[in-house]
Amino acid sequence: MTTKPIIALDIPSKQEAISFLDSFEQESLFLKIGMELYYSEGPDLIRELKEKGHQIFLDLKLHDIPNTVYRAMKVLATLEVDMVNVHAAGGTEMMQAAVKGLEEGTKAGKKRPLLIAVTQLTSTTEKQMQSEQLIDSTLDNSVTHYAKLAYQAGLDGVVCSALEARMIHEATSQKFLCVTPGIRPSGSDEGDQKRVATPEFAAKEGATHIVVGRPITQVEYPIIAYKNIDHQWKGDK
Ligand code: C5P
Cα separation, 237 vs 230, whole angstroms = 9
**Which mutation among 7, 9, 10, 160 tests ligand 1's pocket best, with the greatest number of atoms within 8 A of CB?**
10
| Domain ranges for the chain | 6-234
Count of Cβ atoms closer than 10 Å to residue 206 Cβ:
18
pLDDT in tens, 44-97: 999 999 999 999 999 999 999 999 999 999 999 999 999 999 999 999 999 999
The protein residue with its alpha carbon nearest to ligand 1, atom 5, reads: 213
Q: What is the CATH number of domain 6-234?
A: 3.20.20.70
Burial (Cβ within 10 Å: 0-12, 13-18, ≥19) of residue 145: middle
**Which mutation among 178, 211, 226 tests ligand 1's pocket best, with the greatest number of atoms within 8 A of CB?**
211
Predicted TM-score (pTM) of this structure = 0.96
pLDDT in tens, 8-45: 999 999 999 999 999 998 889 999 999 999 999 999 99
Instruction: Select from 182, 178, 184 the least CA-distant residue to 160.
Output: 178
Cα separation, 169 vs 181, whole angstroms = 17
Report the atom number in ligand 1 closest to the C-alpha of 191: 4
The catalytic position among 14, 50, 61, 234 is 61
